[in-house]
């Protein structure tokens, strides 16, 4: 699993799966759905060599690395010029939701909202100068509350604040001038991965804001984004982010092989239906049927995503749906860098 961010560089121009997207560079939201035989799920092997070959930096986000991302990082422009805390509270809810067994109750949501306002109070009064609070500070404020539910939330977060999985509870130490960054979250366990994806996307959004202030465009590729739709708050967070990026001169592409799980989410279906550009590669039979209903794909057009070779599929741009063939020459260095086939993996 990985997420990448490229500043003033067209990431998709160097990706064989996304190469066809470049003629529509002005579009801001894209989705790529793929289920191709012969390819393995995207991971660091998929992105690492390419990122490094292009002069970028790979940032392993895991309990075993020295990379830290503060889940509570906040910028004055975080709330689109309004109240940044409103959107940050939504992020906090999405972080805490996977930590509870049956989702957040109304009481727990109210407590988290109250504690978020308390923990950010001095930082906001100080004009957002200095270090922002961390999840450790939020847990301390939770323990100071009188409700038993607040103490339950503090206990649930202990592993991720003062425990062994505290990678999102320290000040952010990622400070790089690299134009291409790859956040690798492959080594996060199943429970921490949705939280990791949300916090990483939030860190990327903060980078987008900084780039926007400097007049820079940002390209983002979020791979295996289906994981975000397992929880209601993280799915809503991603959908809001998907829409907000365009306001900050950012281009976001979401990619996934697990189409079936995406189609179970109403939020994800809405995102697919509203994507400016949608690329569909080979699809399973049940997924084809659902996509046909959702996107008005004809029976004839479905043949282009049925048992087709790698690199073949459909592009939906606006109201038009067209087939494409994107065969990439294998005897090139770019192909060696981009291939995900185990027997073709690039080695130096």
CB-based burial, 148-186: b 16+ in 10 Å, e otherwise = ebbebbbebbeebbeeebbbbbbebeeeeebebbbbbbb
Q: Where does 137-225 show beta strands of DSSP type E?
A: 180-184, 218-223
pLDDT number for residue 46: 63
Confidence grade of residue 297 (pLDDT, cut at 50, 70, 90): very high
Q: Considering the chain, what percentage of its residues have pLDDT values greater than 90?
A: 32
Confidence grade of residue 228 (pLDDT, cut at 50, 70, 90): confident
What does DSSP say about strands 29-33 and 250-256: parallel, antiparallel, or unpaired?
Answer: parallel
Confidence grade of residue 119 (pLDDT, cut at 50, 70, 90): very high
What does DSSP say about strands 312-317 and 320-325: parallel, antiparallel, or unpaired?
Answer: antiparallel
Domain ranges of the chain: 2-65+180-344, 76-161
Segment (H or E) for 243: helix 232-244
Q: Tokens 């780039």 sit at which residue?
A: 211
pLDDT number for residue 143: 98
Structure tokens at 42: 């995207």
Sign of the four-CA dihedral 310, 185, 21, 50: negative
pLDDT number for residue 37: 46
CA distance 24 to 120: 41
pLDDT number for residue 34: 62
Asked if 283 and 292 touch (Cβ cutoff 8 Å), the reply is: no
Per-residue pLDDT at 45 exceeds 70: no
Window from 10-24, 196-210, 213-227, 262-276 with minimum mean pLDDT: 10-24
Following CA atoms 256, 178, 334, 2 in sequence, which dihedral angle do they give, to the nearest 10 degrees? -20
Residue 314 φ then ψ, to 5°: -125, 145
Asked if 277 and 21 touch (Cβ cutoff 8 Å), the reply is: yes
For the chain, the maximum distance between any two Cα atoms, rounded to a whole number of angstroms, is: 66
Query: Which superfamily is assigned to 2-65+180-344 in CATH?
Result: P-loop containing nucleotide triphosphate hydrolases (3.40.50.300)
Q: Looking at residues 185-206, what average pLDDT do you find?
A: 83
Q: Tokens 């062994």 sit at which residue?
A: 164
Window from 93-97, 224-228, 314-318 with minimum mean pLDDT: 224-228
pLDDT number for residue 288: 92
pLDDT number for residue 33: 66
Q: Looking at residues 97-121, what average pLDDT do you find?
A: 93
CA distance 89 to 276: 29
Q: Tokens 């940050």 sit at which residue?
A: 88
Per-residue pLDDT at 182 exceeds 50: yes
Q: 113: exposed, middle or buried (C-beta count within 10 Å: 0-12, 13-18, 19+)?
A: middle
- Decide which of 327 and 283 is more confident: 283
pLDDT number for residue 322: 94
Per-residue pLDDT at 227 exceeds 50: yes
Residue 33 φ then ψ, to 5°: -110, 125
Asked if 112 and 153 touch (Cβ cutoff 8 Å), the reply is: yes
**Angle at which helices 232-244 and 192-213 cross, to 10°:** 20
Q: Considering the chain, what percentage of its residues have pLDDT values greater than 70?
A: 84
Confidence grade of residue 150 (pLDDT, cut at 50, 70, 90): very high
Window from 65-69, 141-145, 193-197 with minimum mean pLDDT: 193-197
Calculate ∠ Cα 74-196-34, nearest 5°. Answer: 120
Per-residue pLDDT at 43 exceeds 90: no
Confidence grade of residue 24 (pLDDT, cut at 50, 70, 90): very low
- Decide which of 342 and 89 is more confident: 89
CA distance 144 to 159: 18
How confident is the prediction for the chain on average, in pLDDT? 82
Calculate ∠ Cα 214-217-221, nearest 5°. Answer: 135
Q: Tokens 């907000």 sit at which residue?
A: 244
| Residue 154 Cα distances to 133, 158, 178, 314, angstroms | 16, 6, 37, 48
Asked if 162 and 136 touch (Cβ cutoff 8 Å), the reply is: yes
Q: Looking at residues 182-210, what average pLDDT do you find?
A: 84
């Amino acid at each position: 699993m990985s997420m990448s961010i490229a500043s003033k560089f067209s990431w998709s121009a160097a990706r064989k799966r996304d190469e066809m997207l470049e003629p529509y560079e002005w579009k801001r939201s894209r989705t790529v759905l793929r289920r191709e035989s012969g390819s393995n799920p995207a991971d660091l092997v998929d992105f690492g060599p390419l990122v490094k070959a292009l002069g970028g930096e790979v940032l392993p986000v895991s309990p075993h690395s020295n990379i830290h991302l503060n889940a509570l990082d906040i910028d004055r422009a975080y709330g689109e010029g309004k109240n940044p805390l409103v959107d940050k509270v939504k992020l906090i809810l999405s972080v805490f939701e996977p930590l509870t067994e049956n989702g957040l109750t109304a009481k727990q949501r109210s407590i988290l909202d109250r504690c978020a306002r308390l923990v950010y109070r001095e930082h906001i009064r100080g004009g957002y100068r200095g270090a922002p609070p961390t999840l450790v500070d939020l847990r301390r404020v939770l323990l100071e509350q009188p409700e038993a539910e607040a103490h339950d939330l503090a206990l649930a977060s202990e592993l991720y604040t003062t425990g062994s999985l505290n990678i999102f509870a320290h000040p952010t130490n990622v400070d790089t001038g690299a134009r291409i960054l790859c956040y690798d979250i492959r080594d996060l366990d199943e429970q921490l991965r949705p939280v990791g994806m949300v916090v990483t996307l939030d860190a990327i959004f903060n980078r987008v804001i900084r780039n926007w202030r400097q007049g820079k465009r940002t390209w983002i590729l979020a791979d295996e984004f289906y994981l975000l739709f397992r929880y209601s708050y993280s799915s809503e967070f991603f959908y809001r982010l998907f829409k907000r990026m365009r306001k900050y001169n950012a281009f976001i592409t979401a990619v996934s092989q697990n189409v079936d799980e995406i189609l179970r989410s109403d939020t994800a279906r809405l995102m697919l239906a509203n994507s400016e550009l949608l690329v569909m590669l080979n699809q399973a039979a049940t997924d084809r049927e659902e996509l046909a209903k959702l996107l008005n794909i004809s029976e004839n057009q479905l043949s282009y995503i049925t048992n087709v070779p790698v690199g073949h599929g459909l592009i939906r741009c606006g109201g038009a749906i067209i087939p494409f063939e994107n065969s990439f020459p294998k005897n090139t260095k770019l192909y060696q860098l981009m291939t995900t086939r185990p027997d073709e993996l690039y080695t130096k």
